[in-house]
Amino acid sequence: MAKKQLFTLCILCFLTVALVCGCISDTEKKLEQATLLIESADEKIAEVEDLEWNRENLGFIKAQFAGAEVDLDEAVKVLYTIEPANDEEKRTIDACVVMCTAAKDLCNVVRTDLADGMEHMLKAEEYADRKDMTGAKSELKLAKPEFVDTRIKLQQIQAHVNGISVHDLPAEERGMLTSFKMSIDEFLHMLTELVDTLNTVV
């Protein structure tokens, strides 16, 4: 899952900064604080990542992503207070900020646009089960702009993540960054197919 990969990548980068750069105690404490916040967000997402998107689970899914978003926002704030000791440390911390912000933005788009679109899709399914195709079509029309907005925001996240140079990361994390970028590509492809399908229906 793209989200899980990004959390792991953030944590590994923080640990690398602490180990490679020989952080002074204040910086080390801040990195530890940021890591704990990311781990907290990770735990919230882990509770819902395998849940089915249905009416019963939707509220809980949105709440967990909202909580994770808050954790990640706090982690970004902590990172901004770190004063890098050298250029190498600055590049790595800057990359961490971008990745952590991307994770936060992903949480936001999942709990808002994507969740709203899924809610309309679930309502459309309920109408269809009752043979009310007019109601189903109406809900599909409402779902489409939510998925379009999801795609636009995901493209913005993709642009930010693509701005990270693999050379700013330790060798052992570069493959994970590449994997995460590919996961975003797949997510965007899925959304494009979904929007194209909705265009043929509504």
Close Cβ partners of 51 (under 8 Å, ≥ 6 residues apart) = 57, 60, 61
Close Cβ partners of 120 (under 8 Å, ≥ 6 residues apart) = 139, 140, 142, 143, 146
- For residue 2, the model assigns a pLDDT of 54
Q: How confident is residue 18, by pLDDT bands cut at 50, 70 and 90?
A: very low
Residue 8 has pLDDT above 90, yes or no: no
Among 33-47, 89-103, 160-174, 176-190, which is the least confidently predicted range?
160-174
- For residue 46, the model assigns a pLDDT of 87
- For residue 6, the model assigns a pLDDT of 59
Distances (CA, A) of 70 to 37, 123, 143: 9, 29, 26
Q: How confident is residue 12, by pLDDT bands cut at 50, 70 and 90?
A: low
Helix and strand totals (H; E) in the chain: 7, 0
**Mean of pLDDT over the chain:** 85
Give the residue carrying structure tokens 């939707």.
Answer: 58
Residue 35 has pLDDT above 90, yes or no: no
Residue 14 has pLDDT above 70, yes or no: no
Q: How confident is residue 151, by pLDDT bands cut at 50, 70 and 90?
A: very high
- For residue 147, the model assigns a pLDDT of 96
Structural domains counted in the chain: 1
141-161 in b/e burial notation, b at 16+ Cβ within 10 A?
ebbbebbbbbbebbeebbeeb
* pLDDT tens for each residue of 170-192: 676 677 778 778 888 888 999 99
- For residue 110, the model assigns a pLDDT of 92
> Could you tell me the residue range of the domain that residue 32 belongs to?
2-201
Compute the average pLDDT of residues 138-161: 94
Q: Report how far residue 33's alpha carbon sits from residue 39's, in angstroms, rounded to the nearest whole number.
A: 10
pTM for the model = 0.86
- For residue 120, the model assigns a pLDDT of 96
